[in-house]
Structure formats: C-alpha cells, structure tokens
Amino acid sequence: MKCILMNKNTEVLVTEYDETSKFFDKIYEIKNINYAPYILKRFYDVKDIDNSSFRTALSEWFKGRGIPSWRDKLDLLLHRLNITAPYELLDKSFGLSLSDQYWLKPYNSNILYDDINFFDNDFDYAEFMEASLSTNSKSITKEASLKTPNNTTDGMLKKAWIIENNTRYLLKGGYKNETLQPFNEVLASEICKRLGFNHVEYTIDVYKDIVVSKCPCFITKDTEFITCNQIKSNMQHHDNIKDYEDYIKELESHNIENVREKLENMFILDYIIMNEDRHLNNFGIIRDVNTLEWLDVAPIFDNGQSLNLEYYDEEELCVSGNGRFFYQVKPFDEIIKIVKELNRIDVSKLDGIVEWFDDLLHQYQYLTKMSDGRIEKICILLNNQINKLKDLILNSN
C-alpha cells in the first residue's frame, strides 16, 4: 500500500507499506524529515533516502506503536479481540495514538487529520476495556471497537483509554494478581502534589470489581511525548553519570528550563516509593508538533512498580529491589546521590502521608483482599524511606 506518513497535517514521507509484514518496503520521497519521529533522526541519509537502515528503523518504530508482546495476559486479550498478533491493530485506525500525532494516510486519499484523530473524535472503548481489564469477557463483536487509541498503548500492564466528560483517561490495572500498582500511582501523585513536583494526576477507580488507576492524557493534539530513549539514541553513550549530564545539556540546549531540578524531582520520588521501573521510555520531553519547539520536561508518570516487598513476617522486612538510572540498575541509596541540593525539599510536607496511604489501602481492602499485615508492612516501608530522606537532608545541611 502506497501511503504518506503524516505528523498531524504535515506530510513527512511517501512510502510503500506492506500490510502483511508491517514493513516499509520503499521510501519514494522525503517531504519534511524534521517532522519525522525523533528516533529516526540518526538513520536518515539525505543522499540515500531509501537505505535499508532507515526503512528498518521506520518499520521497527511503527511496530513499536502496537501493544507489546510482554503485555500481561496478552494471549487472552488477543483471543477476545479476534486477532492473532497485536500489530494487526495498527491498521485499524491509521496507527493513531494519544501520545503523538503520527498516522499513515493512504496515498491520494482525502482523509483529514481533524476527522480521525482521537483527541477531537469519540471512539468506542467499552468492549476493548472489557477485553483488556475484565476477568470474564466475551470476544469483541464490532469492528468499530477496534478503531481506538487502545491499539497503540505501551507497557506490560492491562490498560484501556476511555472518554469521560470529553476528557481522555487511561485506566491501568495491576500486574497479574498484584493489586498494589494502582495505589502506588495515586501515592506518587499525592507525594508530588505535596512537594510541588510536576506530575500526572492519578486517582483510584473501580471497573467490575477490579481496582484500576485513572489518569488524564497529558498530550494534546498539538504536542507529542518524546522519550528519553529516543533522545539518547541520537547521542553518544558513556557511563551513566555522563549520559545523565549529556541528557541535561541536550534539553537545556533546546531552551527547557530547570531541567536538572525536574529530573532530580523524579529520582527523589523514586527514592521515596522505591520505584524499580524508571526506564528510558517513561520519562522524556513534550514537543510542539506544529513548531517542533521543545516545550518542557514531561510530567512525572508511571510509578506503579514500587514498594515491592520480597518477604516479611512479624520480625523481618525484606526488600531486594533496586532502582534504575539510565542504563544501570543501582541501589536507591546510590541513585539519590545525583541530587545536588536535597535540602531544597521540605519533607515535613509529607507528614501524615503514611497514615493517608494506610487509609487508602484499607478503603479498598474488600476488593484487593490485601491482608492487614501486608498493608502494615508496606506502610512501614514507606515510612522508613521518608525517614531516610529526612536523615539525608539533615546530613546535607
């Protein structure tokens, strides 16, 4: 199929797309390479626009827009959707997403972005939501239910985009039989709110007796989210500290303000809640798709893999998890050392948050079946981390 890769209303390139293999077989013409997905930047050769490296990178980028192979209970989801592989969904709605504005326009088509994008136009989600989140669901019956931004969601957790009062919200469940992740998202929001960190606001919702986290989309039809991974792909790799400093300089070179402080805020949050999953695809920047201006560091989001207890009993509390700092897994006590001025944080603003979290976990205990003992140990772990942060700040003065 001959088509045009679009970025909102801007033509990026003309290409031949194989709907069976999901591979871009040929690049006919480059229209506006600057509007291409950022990760393709280093593969572009102005003298050889049809080179195999560029087409392979383009194909991998497009396939990567689909639901990943490691999605929790993927086989069950595919069965309910009546498809054999998640990348089949990419052809159902032009590859559109709620994270950016890229889409595939059939060549010589009169389709307009304004008529199909999911920021302005409603989409069916009830059946997809049930297929993704419900423990007991039938197969989807309507083709219209597959014309949805749920086709282009990343991550391992079961999730679904919905619309309420014209706002796009993402619902996200726990992993397998774990129920703590949605609560961790809400806890992270509360910590960020108290400490003044820019963040995505999460709340708790219940879908068919399943506890989920709920957050609004932080991208608009005029912006896109570019991950740290995409930005770093165009930069040299050194040791982690050098990569971190280079990343800060890169963002500052695009006139983003207070980069270091905003990244430090993210790692401070990760320290408090012991977030083990700060990978390079869940932080980055927001770019204006019309002007290509880098607007700001993206708000803090995706904090569910936190407060993980390996073992506990009446006498012992065992935690083995580590954090992630760019390309390296490191102890949280090591990662927090990258923060240059910890004493700018007023930890007293977190007073009472452990009790607040304890109340929240008990409020939904009838659904999560989380024991009193586990809730107590989780709250002890959170309290320990807050006290450790207080000690670090005291010693830094």
Question: What's the CA gap between 288 and 388, in Å, rounded?
Answer: 39
* Beta pairing class for 159-164 and 102-106: unpaired
Q: pLDDT tier at 297 (50, 70, 90 boundaries)?
A: very high
* Beta pairing class for 2-7 and 10-18: antiparallel
Angle CA(237)–CA(240)–CA(241) in degrees, nearest 5? 115
> What per-residue confidence (pLDDT) applies to 142?
62
Q: What count of Cα atoms within 13 Å lies in the side-chain half-sphere of residue 269? A: 31
> What per-residue confidence (pLDDT) applies to 360?
98
> What per-residue confidence (pLDDT) applies to 143?
61
Q: What count of Cα atoms within 13 Å lies in the side-chain half-sphere of residue 301? A: 24
Question: What's the CA gap between 305 and 181, in Å, rounded?
Answer: 6
- In a domain, residue 110? The reply is no
> What per-residue confidence (pLDDT) applies to 312?
61
Q: Which residues contact residue 257 at a Cβ distance below 8 angstroms, ignoring those fewer than 6 apart?
A: 296
Q: Which CATH number belongs to the domain containing residue 231 in this structure?
A: 1.10.1070
In the 8-state DSSP scheme, what is residue 140?
P
Q: Domain ends where: 14, 45, 63?
A: 63
Beta bridge partners of 286: 225, 296
Q: Which domain holds residue 51?
A: 2-63
- 241 SS3 class: helix
Tell me which residue of 58, 142, 143 sits closest to 104, measured CA to CA: 58
Tell me which residue of 377, 272, 275, 255 sits closest to 316, measured CA to CA: 377
Please, are residues 134 and 30 in contact by the beta-carbon 8 Å criterion? no
> What per-residue confidence (pLDDT) applies to 79?
81
Tell me which residue of 216, 210, 80, 86 sits closest to 151, measured CA to CA: 86
Residue 139 has pLDDT above 80, yes or no: no
> What per-residue confidence (pLDDT) applies to 239?
73
- In a domain, residue 265? The reply is yes
Torsion of CA 184, 215, 87, 80, to 10 degrees: 80
Residue 106 has pLDDT above 70, yes or no: yes
User: Rg of the chain over CA atoms, in angstroms?
Assistant: 22
- In a domain, residue 306? The reply is yes
Question: What's the CA gap between 307 and 270, in Å, rounded?
Answer: 10
Question: What's the CA gap between 234 and 66, in Å, rounded?
Answer: 23
Q: What integer best gives the mean pLDDT of the chain?
A: 91
Question: Which one has a higher pLDDT value, 134 or 150?
Answer: 150
> What per-residue confidence (pLDDT) applies to 300?
98
| Predicted confidence (pLDDT) per residue in 319-373, tens digit | 767 999 998 999 999 999 999 999 999 999 999 999 999 999 999 999 999 999 9
- In a domain, residue 269? The reply is yes
Question: In residues, how long is the chain?
Answer: 397
Q: Domain ends where: 26, 45, 63?
A: 63
> What per-residue confidence (pLDDT) applies to 141?
64
- In a domain, residue 146? The reply is no
| Predicted confidence (pLDDT) per residue in 46-94, tens digit | 889 989 999 999 999 999 888 877 777 778 777 887 877 777 788 888 9
Residue 394 has pLDDT above 60, yes or no: yes
- In a domain, residue 344? The reply is yes
Q: Domain ends where: 35, 63, 91?
A: 63
111-125, 127-141, 323-337: which has the minimum mean pLDDT?
127-141
> What per-residue confidence (pLDDT) applies to 13?
97
Q: pLDDT tier at 132 (50, 70, 90 boundaries)?
A: confident
Total number of domains in the chain? 2
- In a domain, residue 51? The reply is yes
- In a domain, residue 195? The reply is no
- 114 SS3 class: helix
CA distances from 389 to 272, 306, 333 (A): 7, 16, 10
In the 8-state DSSP scheme, what is residue 250?
H
